[in-house]
Amino acid sequence: MFDLSRKIAVVTGAGSGIGAAIAVLFARQGARVVILDLNESADATAASIAASGGDAMARRCDVAQPDDVAATFTGIAAELGSLDILVNNAGIAHVGTIEQTTAADLDRLYAVNIRGVFLCAKAALEIMLPQGHGVILNMASIASLVGVPERFAYSMTKGAVHTMTMSIAVDYVKRGIRCNCICPARIQTPFVDGYLRKHYPDRQEEMRRVLDAYQPIGRMGTPEEVAALALYLCSDEAAFVTGQAYPIDGGVLSS
């Protein structure tokens, strides 16, 4: 089960965190993985996969830039000949209420979290539609399903990801394309570590416990747990699943 042999998968923002965990797991399951990120972290993930016997290649790509995305996906199609899976994982965060959010903050998050998903999905569809098959998986958030304090701009963008997911699913279900999204609660990633260092340099462990306690299960999730759900949704075992938002939240939505 969950065999991705002979499948080509693109994972954006796969230099670290959830994206890296997805790329590593997909490669372990037999996929040829293309890792997209802004910097050399993509190379590090690809090297880690190669060291374990997996097949991966790294490409620098700014998902917010139309020309960059178009050139990257055109190059992937020319080099590899097809594209079976796109995981739109690249994203950035912002902490603050509407009062603490500037127009520049909103534009910055829109560029990556919304326009980036749009550009990559559109570029992937241009490759997938002539094939007659393909899977797009977007990374949303529980912030697209419930109110999360002090996440105004971030929640706005993840709500858009959720609705883009449903729109792609309904528009292309008859043409062999599936599209779903994952809605995580707090996940222990380098972003969380950086957030704690920046905002609570003298209280990191105390605030980490606060973040853990937000989930009724008593801890944050791990990138590997999100990757396992991504594997299911991108595998042939999920062939009957499209247009859905899957929470992975440690019980937040049920509390």
Give the tokens for residue 48.
């880690």
CA angle at 245 for the pair 2 and 1, rounded to the nearest 5°: 10
Q: In whole angstroms, what is the distance from residue 110 CA to residue 112 CA?
A: 6
Specify the amino acid at residue 133.
H
Residue 51 belongs to what H/E stretch?
A: helix 41-51
Q: In whole angstroms, what is the distance from residue 213 CA to residue 255 CA?
A: 12
DSSP 3-state assignment of 251? coil
CA quadruple 112, 115, 121, 127: dihedral, nearest 10:
-100
Whether 214 sits among the annotated catalytic residues: the reply is no
4 φ, ψ (degrees, to nearest 5): -110, 20
Of the residues 154, 195, 214, 246, only one is catalytic, namely 154
Give the tokens for residue 90.
């690249």
Show which residues are catalytic: 154
